[in-house]
Amino acid sequence: MRIEMWADIANPWTHVAAERLRVALAAGDVAAEVVWRPLLTDAADPDAPRDALRLLVLAEERGGVELQGRVAAELLASHDVRDLAELAAVADRAGFPDAGALLASDAGHARLRELLLIGKARGITISPTLADEDRLLEFAMSPATIGEFLGASDGPDAADAPDASADRAANQAARRLPPEVERLRWADELLALNDPLGALVLLEPLLAEHAQDPNIRRVAASAYFASAQLGRARQVLEATLADHPSDSYARLMLGRTLERQGHADEAGTHLRMAAAMTPEYA
């Protein structure tokens, strides 16, 4: 079973939540993989513990969940998670001696930004929050409540099944969407939250690997349009219509893009065609 702990490592409730999660897992005899995910209580705070969160990201990248868990435990025991020298010492105690040099570089910045955007897209705003796929448990709840949350993922009788842990893992895997679908959904959520630039960050690997997919193109074009990158929006929409001339939404978006670029006559042609294909676009 995979559980995500979304948390601001400097938030005092994070230590409480981690201990209560440990008690709940032990009491329920649950075999769980706990993955730490970054959350900023106040993203505008210049003293926010970004480097500590980056350390957790780097630990997972370089040594997996086991190393990340050791680093998290040392961070929770530290008195200053904002000092680079202390973070290097924390990492060294956890068996991650290369962390100091990595933190002095740009390593982990891109992945940290991406994870913060994913948390935003998933509506995770309270530190700490436990996540089991789309199910969230906010704040540092009691071990009993955490146990109920973990058991509920497979129905009321799951905890009594002889192979409960294996069943939980199988059910969780079955619920999980393909990574590309999840990423596209998160990008779409960021668009709805008026963060088109964040949406484009999440779309970047999809555009690199699946640039011909009409769904990815549609979200990318909307993000370019919303961020006033009209030339790129036009390029994507024209390519989409070359492959799918009956895509009325792409035609509508191209008309609006051309309109904003000052090409009224050309825009009008596409807008009329979109309205003819889909009357509600009129």
Q: How far apart are CA 154 and CA 170, in angstroms?
A: 10
Record: fold of 179-281: 1.25.40
Q: pLDDT tens digit string along 208-254?
A: 999 999 999 999 999 999 999 999 999 999 999 999 999 999 999 99
Asked whether residue 161 carries a pLDDT value surpassing 60, the answer given is no
Distance from the first to the final alpha carbon of the chain: 49
Phi, psi of 210 (to 5 degrees): -135, 50
Lowest mean pLDDT among 106-120, 148-162, 248-262: 148-162
Beta bridge partners of 130: 5, 137
Query: What's the pLDDT at 169?
Result: 56
Domain(s) of CATH 3.40.30.10: residues in the chain? 2-175
Q: 2-175: which CATH architecture? A: 3-Layer(aba) Sandwich (3.40)
Residue 176's identity, in one-letter code, is R
Q: What is the pTM of this model?
A: 0.89
Give the pLDDT confidence score for residue 1 in this predicted structure.
85
Calculate the alpha carbon distances from 270 to 225, 234, 235, 256, 267 in Å: 16, 12, 15, 9, 5
Closest by CA position to 159, among listed 10, 3, 24, 11 = 24
Contact 3, 152 (CB under 8 A): no
What Cα–Cα distance (Å) separates residue 12 from each residue in 15, 34, 169, 185? 6, 19, 31, 32
* Rounded Cα–Cα distance for residues 14 and 34 (Å): 14
Residues of the chain with CATH 1.25.40.10: 179-281
Name the burial class of residue 54, with classes exposed (0-12), middle (13-18) and buried (19+) by CB atoms within 10 angstroms of its CB.
Answer: buried
Confidence of residue 30 (pLDDT cuts 50, 70, 90): confident
What is the phi/psi pair of residue 131, to 5°? Answer: -130, 130
Q: What is the per-residue pLDDT for 256?
A: 97
Report the distance separating Cα 90 and Cα 80, nearest Å: 10
Helix (H, G, I), strand (E, B) or coil at 178: coil
- Computed over every residue of the chain, the mean pLDDT equals 92
